Amino acid sequence: MLQKAFKRYIDSFRGFTKEIWILTLITFINRAGTMVLPFLSKYLKEDLHFSYGEVGWIMVCFGFGSMIGSWLGGKLSDKIGFYKIMIFSLFTSGVLIFCIQFITSFIGLCLGMFVVMIIADMFRPAMYVSAGDVCFAWRVRKTRKQNTCFYIGSFGGESWFCSGTGFGRLDYYGNWIQRIVLD
């Protein structure tokens, strides 16, 4: 049964163009950076000595930045093009994430996380537009494959790390694996 599911999963990736594989790799790299998120609250609480309430507000800023960034990325992709948005988002968010390590104040981290996530999440809508532009087969199957890459990048890193170190359980993340493989 597992062999059949694995074969079906592998077969579903056949027929994609080189451009789609490149976009998938870039998306994986982009989303793998979010694996630090579960440990951000631990760092804020234990190393920077923020209260749980302050840590919660920093995470709220992270979430609002992500929502606004996704919306803004879609709007700007329509106006100035997906390629410019993707390049801007990837490079600028990388620089900002590097710089955010030097911010230690509560207000600074709230604003920093908000801005970083606005810019970082502008990538996703632009990537969907570019994928639909380069490959018809991707338009038909894009959500499933892109979600695979998103889930592996976002949750795969920390699920394997956490299960190996005792910080978490792989069972929590097993849900998405089951949905992808057995669908």
What's the confidence (pLDDT) of residue 53?
Answer: 94
User: Is pLDDT of 68 > 60?
Assistant: yes
Tell me the two tokens of residue 19. 């451009």
Give residue-wise pLDDT tens across range 23-33. Answer: 888 888 777 76
At a CB cut-off of 8 Å and minimum separation 6, what does 128 contact? 142, 146
pLDDT confidence band for 61 (50 / 70 / 90): very high
Supply the Cα-derived Rg of the chain in whole angstroms: 18
What's the confidence (pLDDT) of residue 145?
Answer: 53
pLDDT confidence band for 79 (50 / 70 / 90): very high
As for how many domains the chain has, the answer is: 1
Q: Burial level of 126, CB count in 10 A (0-12/13-18/19+)?
A: buried
pLDDT confidence band for 19 (50 / 70 / 90): confident
Q: Domain range spanning residue 98?
A: 2-182
Give the chain as a 3 state SS string: CHHHHHHHHHHCCCCCCHHHHHHHHHHHHHHHHHHHHHHHHHHHHHCCCCCHHHHHHHHHHHHHHHHHHHHHHHHHHHHHCHHHHHHHHHHHHHHHHHHHCCCCCHHHHHHHHHHHHHHHCCHHHHHHHHHHHHCHHHHHHHHHHHHHHHHHHHHHHHHHHHHHHCCCCCHHHHHHHHHHHHC
User: Is pLDDT of 84 > 80?
Assistant: yes
Region 124-151 average pLDDT: 64
- Does the predicted model carry a pTM greater than 0.75? no
What's the confidence (pLDDT) of residue 97?
Answer: 85
Give residue-wise pLDDT tens across range 102-116. Answer: 999 999 999 999 999
Tell me which of 56 and 134 has the higher pLDDT: 56
Instruction: Tell the residue number behind the tokens 């996703």, with chain if given.
Output: 124
158/168 Cα distance (integer angstroms): 9
* CATH number of the domain enclosing 86: 1.20.1250
What's the confidence (pLDDT) of residue 72?
Answer: 95
Give residue-wise pLDDT tens across range 41-50. Answer: 888 999 999 9
What's the confidence (pLDDT) of residue 148?
Answer: 55
